[in-house]
Amino acid sequence: MTNDVEKRFDRPGAFREAVTYGVVVIAIAAGAFAIYAFVDQASVVGASTVPAILLVGGIVAFVRTYRMWKAQDSGWVAWQGAGWFLLLLMLVCLAIPGAAMMSS
């Protein structure tokens, strides 16, 4: 029987993978934001790509979390943190389509 409260993190490589994944997703979202900002600031569809990228990235991180947890791999904790961070950033970036709607 495992104690689910005590979580020993013995895979530092999983933390590095999760952080790298989060940084790559954020960089892709930043690229989408740059395209929106410099090409067409009135495009709601273009503005919506930024939170959509972060949402998909967060969901993929949670799928990875679940698979690692099912396999009883201790690295799932880092992936769960990456998923929550990406979803939190997605909520902040929901203001971008709102601003595009207000400007049109």
Distance CA 95, CA 89 (A): 11
Give me the pLDDT at residue 41, please.
84
Distance CA 56, CA 87 (A): 9
Longest dimension (CA), the chain: 58
pLDDT in tens, the chain (104 residues): 555 555 566 667 888 999 999 999 999 999 999 999 999 888 899 899 999 999 999 999 999 999 999 998 888 989 999 999 999 999 999 999 988 888 76
Distance CA 82, CA 72 (A): 18
Categorise residue 67: left if φ over 0, alpha if ψ from -120 to 50, beta otherwise.
Answer: alpha
Distance CA 35, CA 11 (A): 37
pTM, two decimals, is 0.87
